[in-house]
């Protein structure tokens, strides 16, 4: 079980590097799906099977399909890939990389110094559901409001004027 955590964590980090440094949008999306699935198995190793399943169904299933559809609608071709290559090889990359490396080093130094207390035990869907619908009931209501707001905003913004005229041509 421990080995599964380290292997899937490593796969997640490698996939994340390939997303951040990717040139082709579609390949980066597939790498992002790999990252999400790796994180789902990390959740499973940390004793959270319910969240792992939700991660696969909602993130890797629904949200990524949304991404794939939008990228297909954008229809970015080979010249976009060339443009990405030009942008990535520029000097913009250096200073943020150094800053991010310093931040990561700080995290690792701080966290590695503590005693490594092992965790054990699975928190099943029953406990999560009970907590969700008793202690966090107001949060569920707010989440539904947020989703409604997102739906309305996406509907309003997604309505492109001029789309109909272009279809007539």
Q: Are 50 and 131 in contact (CB under 8 A)?
A: no
Record the tokens describing residue 80, joined without a space. Answer: 């976009």
Q: In the complex, what is the shortest distance from the CB of residue 164 to another protein, in angstroms, rounded to a whole number?
A: 13
Closest to another protein by CB, 158 or 168: 158
Positions 48 through 67 that interact with another protein (CB under 8 A):
48, 50-51, 54-55, 58-59, 62-63, 66-67
164 near another protein, rule: CB under 8 A: no
Residue from 117, 164, 165, 167 binding another protein (CB under 8 A): 117
Residue from 79, 89, 116, 138 binding another protein (CB under 8 A): 116
Residue from 7, 30, 53, 71 binding another protein (CB under 8 A): 71
Q: How far is residue 35's CA from residue 31's CA, in Å, rounded to a whole number?
A: 6
Picking from 47, 18, 46, 13, the residue whose alpha carbon sits closest to that of residue 30 is: 18
Other CB atoms within 10 Å distance of the CB of residue 22:
18
Picking from 9, 70, 75, 3, the residue whose alpha carbon sits closest to that of residue 37 is: 9
Q: Are 4 and 41 in contact (CB under 8 A)?
A: yes
Residue from 1, 78, 167, 169 binding another protein (CB under 8 A): 1
Q: Are 130 and 55 in contact (CB under 8 A)?
A: no
Positions 2 through 31 that interact with another protein (CB under 8 A):
2, 5-6, 9, 12-13, 16-17, 19-20, 22, 25, 28-29
Residue from 89, 96, 138, 168 binding another protein (CB under 8 A): 96
């Amino acid at each position: 079980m421990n080995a599964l955590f380290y292997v899937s964590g490593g796969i997640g980090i490698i996939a994340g590097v390939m997303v951040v440094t990717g040139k082709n949008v579609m390949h980066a999306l597939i790498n992002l799906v790999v990252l999400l699935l790796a994180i789902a198995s990390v959740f499973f190793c940390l004793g959270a099977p319910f969240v792992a399943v939700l991660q696969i169904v909602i993130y890797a299933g629904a949200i990524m399909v949304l991404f794939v559809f939008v990228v297909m609608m954008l229809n970015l071709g080979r010249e976009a890939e060339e443009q990405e290559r030009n942008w990535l090889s520029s000097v913009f990359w250096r200073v943020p990389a150094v800053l991010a490396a310093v931040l990561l080093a700080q995290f690792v130094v701080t966290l590695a110094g503590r005693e490594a207390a092992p965790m054990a035990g699975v928190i099943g869907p029953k406990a999560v559901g009970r907590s969700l619908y008793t202690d966090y009931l107001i949060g569920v209501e707010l989440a539904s409001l947020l989703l409604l707001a997102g739906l309305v905003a996406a509907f309003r913004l997604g309505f492109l004027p001029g789309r109909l005229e272009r279809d007539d041509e």
